């Protein structure tokens, strides 16, 4: 069984580009691969009639049984990886959390099990946070750095308050954009790589673990101890001093665990 779901606003453009069936999307030649492993491949595609917009195609293949169970545990349904990520994007948008805009997804099943699937999303406005930091951090005054850190911490707290967990919360999975409100520069954030997002997550340790992964990905070259502490203190607004210090210790513990497994690449 194969099926394709397309956002209403993109049906005509996709059809004009000859993209209708699962095979049209999955095996198209008009793509540039930018990242791949043995289970996923991410490519850039461009479409005629899309006003020069760039799109990202994520292809899933060789789905593992644990991926099927993971989606079922979070939704109570047997979903393809693409359908699960599509639903995650809709949930984040509904809660006012920045994420890519979904364009289309497709899935192919054999004997009731996912064989292949894909999802297409619009390119986010703004810039990957790791690229932004590399290009701008040394030029920013300390108060502007602190504003970025506190804004990000409050956005993560907002995500956790909706009982959502982001196990892939790393600097390079966050996009940052600037806005000018009443003459003041403000920052907005969006989050990518959401196929492992967890819903209805009440486990506090899971949320601390999210922070630990982010802390692990914050290179000391850019984020000194005071900035990383500010991130956690801002996230913990409303806690007493003892609670804040305990959270800081636990985040550092998780961060140290991840750092022992892998070294963060320079960005």
Q: Is the pLDDT of residue 28 over 90?
A: no
Q: What are phi and psi of 50, to 5 degrees?
A: -105, 20
Mean pLDDT of the residues in the chain: 93
Helices and strands of the chain, counted as H and E runs: 9, 9
CATH code, residues 2-122? 3.30.200
What's residue 52's pLDDT? 86
What's residue 258's pLDDT? 92
Pick from 18, 7, 89, 82: which is nearest to 47 by CA? 18
What's residue 25's pLDDT? 95
pTM over 0.75: yes
Distance CA 146, CA 167 (A): 24
Could you state, in order of their start, the residue ranges of all structural domains in the chain? 2-122, 127-261
Strands 102-110 and 113-122: antiparallel
**169 Cβ contact partners less than 8 Å away, ≥ 6 residues apart:** 156, 191, 210, 211, 213, 214
Distances (CA, A) of 124 to 38, 100, 102, 189: 26, 6, 11, 10
- Does the domain at residues 127-261 carry the CATH identifier 3.40.50.1980? no
The 10s digit of each residue's pLDDT in 207-243 is 999 999 999 999 999 999 999 999 999 999 999 999 9
Question: How distant is the alpha carbon of residue 84 from its chain centre?
Answer: 13
Strands 174-181 and 32-36: unpaired
The 10s digit of each residue's pLDDT in 115-160 is 999 999 999 989 999 999 999 999 999 999 999 999 999 999 999 9
């Amino acid at each position: 069984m194969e099926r394709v779901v397309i956002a209403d606003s993109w049906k005509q453009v996709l059809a004009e580009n000859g993209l209708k069936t699962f095979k049209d999307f999955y095996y198209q030649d008009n793509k540039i691969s930018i990242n791949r492993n043995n289970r996923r491949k991410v490519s850039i595609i461009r479409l005629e009639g899309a006003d020069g917009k760039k799109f990202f195609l994520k292809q899933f293949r060789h789905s593992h049984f644990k991926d099927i169970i993971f989606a079922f545990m979070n939704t109570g349904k047997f979903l393809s990886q693409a359908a699960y990520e599509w639903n995650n994007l809709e949930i984040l948008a509904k809660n006012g959390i920045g994420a890519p805009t979904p364009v289309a997804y497709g899935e192919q099943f054999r004997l009731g099990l996912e064989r292949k699937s894909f999802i297409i999303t619009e390119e986010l406005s703004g810039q990957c946070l790791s690229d932004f930091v590399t290009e701008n951090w040394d030029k920013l005054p300390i108060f502007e750095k602190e504003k970025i850190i506190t804004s990000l911490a409050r956005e993560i707290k907002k995500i956790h308050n909706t009982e959502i967990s982001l196990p892939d919360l790393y600097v390079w999975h966050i996009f940052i954009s600037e806005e000018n409100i009443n003459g003041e520069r403000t920052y907005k954030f969006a989050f990518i790589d959401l196929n492992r997002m967890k819903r209805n997550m009440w486990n506090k340790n899971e949320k601390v673990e999210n922070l630990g992964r982010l802390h692990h990905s914050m290179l000391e070259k850019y984020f000194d101890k005071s900035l990383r502490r500010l991130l956690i203190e801002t996230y913990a607004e409303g806690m007493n001093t003892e609670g804040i210090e305990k959270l800081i210790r636990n985040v550092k513990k998780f961060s140290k665990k991840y750092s022992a497994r892998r070294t963060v690449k320079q960005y």
